[in-house]
Amino acid sequence: MKKYDFQKPSKIPYLETTGMPNRIILKKRRFKCYHCSKTMVAETSIVKRNHQIPRIINQKIAQKLIEKTSMTDIAHQLAISTSTVIRKLNDFRFKPDFSYLPEIMSWDEYAFTKGKMSFIAQDFDNLNIITVLEGRTQTVIRNNFLRSNRAVRCQVKIITMDLFSSYYALAKQIRFRIFRLRLKQSPRLFHSQTLKSCWIDFTLYNILAML
């Protein structure tokens, strides 16, 4: 092998110092084989091969995700993009427990990524996350809960969900033994219904006044 040339320098984000973000200008040397003329790039312990994010930054992302810091705050604190944090989160491997379901569950949906809604199920009593699904369609949710046997599903007695959610019919399909269904109604919806009721009363009053 002989020294050949250098790769184009790349700016690598690093941990901040005295509150100021740092960038490492990484310039990797390339080597060329005398016999086959193939080239190879020098490696460093700072970053993995073909990566731009240092190992220590990846470790810091994982630490902050465990601490329940929002992905936007993590990206801002480490001077990286939110998509980098999301990719690191997707690298995690979760082993779901299908042998247990709580008596009271909360079902909801949230925007995990821009323009895409996801499904989340939570233990109502201790607020532990039961499952997080990338999709919110009935097929995705049904297939997930059907992985628990009938006896486990029969442990569920109460499910809390949105008032106009389509999850009610799905809960019956999965054959949960629902004793009671708690429906939560947003204050904004209640306010709009109150305004609508007042408008109807006002309209009827005007009609009666014209008679």
Judge whether residue 28 has pLDDT over 60: yes
Q: How many domains does the chain have?
A: 2
Q: Are 210 and 190 in contact (CB under 8 A)?
A: no
Quickly list DSSP for 76-88: HHHT--HHHHHHH
| Model pLDDT, residue 177 | 55
Q: Whole-number mean pLDDT of the chain?
A: 76
Edge to edge, the sheet with strand 129-133 lists 129-133, 116-123, 104-113, 158-162, 180-184
| Model pLDDT, residue 211 | 35
Query: In terms of domains, do 114 and 178 share one?
Result: yes
Query: In terms of domains, do 43 and 79 share one?
Result: yes
Query: In terms of domains, do 189 and 119 share one?
Result: yes
Higher pLDDT, 149 or 93: 149
Per-residue pLDDT reduced to its tens digit, 30-88: 888 878 878 888 888 888 887 888 888 888 888 888 787 888 999 888 888 898 888 88
Judge whether residue 210 has pLDDT over 70: no
What's the number of CA atoms in the CB half-sphere (13 Å) around residue 56? 11
Query: In terms of domains, do 109 and 37 share one?
Result: no
58 domain residue, yes or no: yes
Judge whether residue 149 has pLDDT over 60: yes
140 domain residue, yes or no: yes
What percentage of the chain reaches a pLDDT higher than 70? 78
What kind and span of H or E run contains 138? helix 138-145
Judge whether residue 203 has pLDDT over 70: no
| Model pLDDT, residue 198 | 41
Query: In terms of domains, do 159 and 120 share one?
Result: yes
Task: Give residue 206's pLDDT band: very low, low, confident or very high (50, 70, 90).
Answer: very low
| Model pLDDT, residue 114 | 65
Instruction: Report d(CA 154, CA 131) in Å as an integer.
Output: 18
Higher pLDDT, 200 or 4: 4
55 domain residue, yes or no: yes
Instruction: Report d(CA 153, CA 171) in Å as an integer.
Output: 10
206 domain residue, yes or no: no
| Model pLDDT, residue 112 | 65
140 phi and psi angles, rounded to 5 deg: -65, -45
Residue after which a domain boundary falls, among 91, 117, 149:
91
Judge whether residue 199 has pLDDT over 70: no
Tokens standing for residue 109: 């949906």
| Model pLDDT, residue 163 | 61
Per-residue pLDDT reduced to its tens digit, 89-123: 888 776 778 899 999 888 888 776 666 788 888 89
User: Which residue range(s) make up the domain with 6?
Assistant: 2-91
